[in-house]
Structure 1
Amino acid sequence: MIAALHKQAIQLLLDLINTPSFSGEEDETAGLIEIFLKKQGIEYHRDQHNVWAVNKYFDEKKPTILLNSHHDTVKPNKGYTRNPHEAVIEEGKIFGLGSNDAGGCLVSLIATFCYFYEDRDLKYNFVLLASAEEENSGDNGIRSMIPKLPEIDFAIIGEPTLMNLAIAEKGLLVLDCYAHGTAGHAAHSRGDNAIYKAMEAIAWFQNFKLPKVSETLHDTKMTVTQIDAGNQHNVVPATCHFVVDIRVNDLYSNREVLDLVKEHVQVEVKERSLNLNSSSIAKDHEIVRSGISLGRDIYGSPTLSDQSNLSCPSLKLGPGDSLRSHTADEFIYENEIEEGIDLYIKILKGIV
């Protein structure tokens, strides 16, 4: 059965790669997932571009595990030398946009769900969710599905981790900051230069270290990534806008970091969202212990995923390498998918 699942999962991945599915445009890949589940004899549901299912003998009295990954992709970057929407296998590598992030994880989780689907004696229920709009943190992805799914006790989020256990993930807080001054002629001493005010705040972001350091996610990292001011060489600008990217560890909420920033900088600060908080699962959780028993490492992930939308404990785990995500000529190894399916099943067998 597992060998057949390997083959079926890889074919599904090839089909997904061959079908463009940018965030918000995942209708056709959702249809492919529906067809796959139907062929497996699995009853499924679809909500916009999200496809989900529960195990055949779902029991409301049992706790529930969410198996989730996404089928949308970013747009290909200009460095591609291959057709990003043409799946090609060469020397054991599957090339194509979304192969590594997160197609390999998605098809591996779907295969894992199929493996357990008809088991009557599970200690846990399973919910499978192939979600949309992960790459753009859209409103019509996992966030829209959480109220519609059964209550989840913990989740496995399929993202490329080399099948190691990412037990914590940094949150994301993006700030638009505006330094305000007074316009004036550059040749005179008149004018209150907004750029200089922005520079003071930027220096604070560069040098300030938040005191709480996490065991798994280390420090909270603040980086100024964009700046914009002025439109003429001889005019002192009245406004300087800059953007700050903040990766928040699991010892702070996004609200706490925002409040701290506003206490220290003398510029206007507007947050884009407070929803993308850090997430984690205890090191002694049974799913983590099961993975460790199979020789998998634990670590904290600096990258954001749909974990940030969940209020339950969650583990990021999947085949592929995060360093390949969003790169030109993206790929995943065939044997990574096969090993991913095997390890997902073994880890879950350790608790179900």
Structure 2
Amino acid sequence: MIERLIAFDTTSSKSNLALIDFAEAHLKAHGATTRRTCNAEGTKANLFATLGPARPGGVVLSGHTDVVPVEGQAWSSDPFRVTARNGRLYGRGTADMKSFLAVALALAPEMAARELAVPIHLALSYDEEVGCFGAPGLIADMAAHVPAPSVVIVGEPTMMKIATAHKGCYVYHTTVTGKEAHSAQPHLGANAIMAAADMVHLIAALQNEAQAAAPHDSPFDPPYATFNVGHITGGTAHNIIPNRCDFTWQIRPLPGDPVAEWLQRLDDHARTTVLPTLRAGAPEAAIDTRPLASVPAFRASLDGAAVALVRHLTGANATTTVSFGTEAGFFQDAGFETVVCGPGSIDQAHQPDEFIDLAQVNACVAFVRRLIEWAANRA
């Protein structure tokens, strides 16, 4: 099954419908009921499937179907054809995170063969890698039409460890519009780059504040929210006052960090300090910021049903945090007990010659089989 899923090139810029068609047909062949939610263009879809009774208290196995691009990477084998070498399976998505989905799909016949007391649900989303754009629609549809699950397990690569927290990721694009003039006559123009630099300076100051206020017991590395201005462009020539500057930036907050407060400070600074200076030379000057992606931070309840179940299934008591974002925060914000646990290592994700150890695949198979046993014997 891993070979079948890797063979679908579901790079985020492309459609995932062929994979969804395959997964849905496979699940329906084993008695699953399914629901789809699609993007506005109808070119991508989420799939939600249920095996077992239509009753509350089930468990969702959740994962994304899209993968990051392979262009510009030096692969030693075809990234969309699984290659087995030295106890590892190589291919794009083997670690992040088609192996988890493949295990769940491969064990669907075993789920169907058991008399499950509570259902096992499979949730396959689109466009996680570019901003988690599919998950909100999937979760809203699930909440509206599916008897409430008791637990969601997001199978991102944690080496089958129990991950109970991760940072969020909020991405923005800011456009500063000024007015061109000769560089010898700055009073006749409005310098968009200098205005943008003022905004960037405040972003850097927020980073310094977050670092200084880092909790001493934070489990994250680094133990504070991070800010980054990753791309900036503007201007035409050294002797022209630039009339436009664009920059893209992000915040990766800890759970509970005051993201709204930070955004308000930036907005207030733009409105009360930067814009008046710009508009002195150009009344039409503007500063516009729009969100590109919003992935909420995640922190599970250590005493909650999700952590308790995964501890039971893995036999582990220890929990960990992860540095990468997942769809877990969306499920949690919708009121579902959630945990992150899946096969493979994030260290291999997004890399050329991405791989997963067969031992991790086998551990995931054992994990899902224990879940089937648990669901069959649930009172």
Residue aligning to 2:282 = none
Cα offset, 1:166, TM superposition: 1.8
Aligned to 2:47, which of 26, 51, 71? 51
TM-score of the aligned structures, taking structure 1 as reference length? 0.83
Deviations 1:102-144 (A, max 9, x none): 111212333566544454464x4322112233223465x3322
1:78 maps onto 2:68 in alignment: no
Written as runs of structure 1 = structure 2, the 5 A alignment for 1:236-247 is: 236-247=241-252
Deviations 1:296-330 (A, max 9, x none): 64223332222243222321111011121111121
Residue aligning to 1:28 = 18
Between the two proteins, what is the percent identity of the paired residues?
21
1:105 maps onto 2:100 in alignment: yes
| Letter paired with 1:173 | Y
d(CA) in 2 for partners of 1:204 and 1:127? 45
Residue aligning to 1:68 = 62
Aligned to 1:327, which of 340, 351, 356? 351
d(CA) in 2 for partners of 1:254 and 1:348? 40
Corresponding residue SS for 2:295: coil
1:18 maps onto 2:7 in alignment: yes
1:201 maps onto 2:194 in alignment: no
Deviations 1:16-38 (A, max 9, x none): 11222233511221233234334
Tell me: CA distance 1:146–1:327, structure 2 relative to 1, closer, same or farther (3 Å).
same
1:143 maps onto 2:136 in alignment: yes
Cα offset, 1:14, TM superposition: 0.5
d(CA) in 2 for partners of 1:269 and 1:181? 12
Most deviating of 301-310 and 12-21: 301-310
Residue aligning to 1:287 = 306
Corresponding residue SS for 1:272: strand
d(CA) in 2 for partners of 1:46 and 1:16? 20
Tell me: CA distance 1:271–1:112, structure 2 relative to 1, closer, same or farther (3 Å).
farther
Residue aligning to 1:341 = 365
Deviations 1:19-64 (A, max 9, x none): 222335112212332343345x2323252533332232232xx323
d(CA) in 2 for partners of 1:84 and 1:160? 18
The 8 Å contact of residues 229 and 248 in structure 2, kept in 1 or not, is answered as: yes
TM-score of the aligned structures, taking structure 2 as reference length? 0.78
Aligned residue-pair number = 336
d(CA) in 2 for partners of 1:148 and 1:287? 21
Corresponding residue SS for 2:321: strand
Most deviating of 340-349 and 173-182: 340-349
Deviations 1:251-302 (A, max 9, x none): 0365344223323454535131575222221112243245456236422333
1:317 maps onto 2:341 in alignment: yes
Residue aligning to 1:249 = 254
1:130 maps onto 2:124 in alignment: yes
Corresponding residue SS for 2:353: coil
Question: Which runs of no fewer than 5 residues in structure 1 stay unpaired?
Answer: 1-11
Cα offset, 1:350, TM superposition: 7.0
| Letter paired with 1:287 | A
d(CA) in 2 for partners of 1:115 and 1:287? 22
Tell me: CA distance 1:348–1:263, structure 2 relative to 1, closer, same or farther (3 Å).
farther
Tell me: CA distance 1:347–1:253, structure 2 relative to 1, closer, same or farther (3 Å).
farther
d(CA) in 2 for partners of 1:250 and 1:113? 35
Cα offset, 1:242, TM superposition: 1.4
Tell me: CA distance 1:32–1:70, structure 2 relative to 1, closer, same or farther (3 Å).
same
d(CA) in 1 for partners of 2:59 and 2:310? 15
Cα offset, 1:98, TM superposition: 1.3
Tell me: CA distance 1:175–1:133, structure 2 relative to 1, closer, same or farther (3 Å).
closer
Tell me: CA distance 1:256–1:349, structure 2 relative to 1, closer, same or farther (3 Å).
farther
d(CA) in 2 for partners of 1:114 and 1:256? 49
Cα offset, 1:344, TM superposition: 4.3
Corresponding residue SS for 1:168: strand
> Which one has a larger percent helix, Structure 1 or Structure 2?
2
Question: Which runs of no fewer than 5 residues in structure 2 stay unpaired?
Answer: 39-44, 275-286
Residue aligning to 1:185 = 182
For the aligned residue pairs, the C-alpha RMSD in angstroms reads 2.9
Tell me: CA distance 1:193–1:50, structure 2 relative to 1, closer, same or farther (3 Å).
closer
Cα offset, 1:181, TM superposition: 4.3
Corresponding residue SS for 2:92: coil
The 8 Å contact of residues 175 and 269 in structure 1, kept in 2 or not, is answered as: no
1:298 maps onto 2:333 in alignment: no
d(CA) in 1 for partners of 2:101 and 2:353? 19
Residue aligning to 2:83 = 88
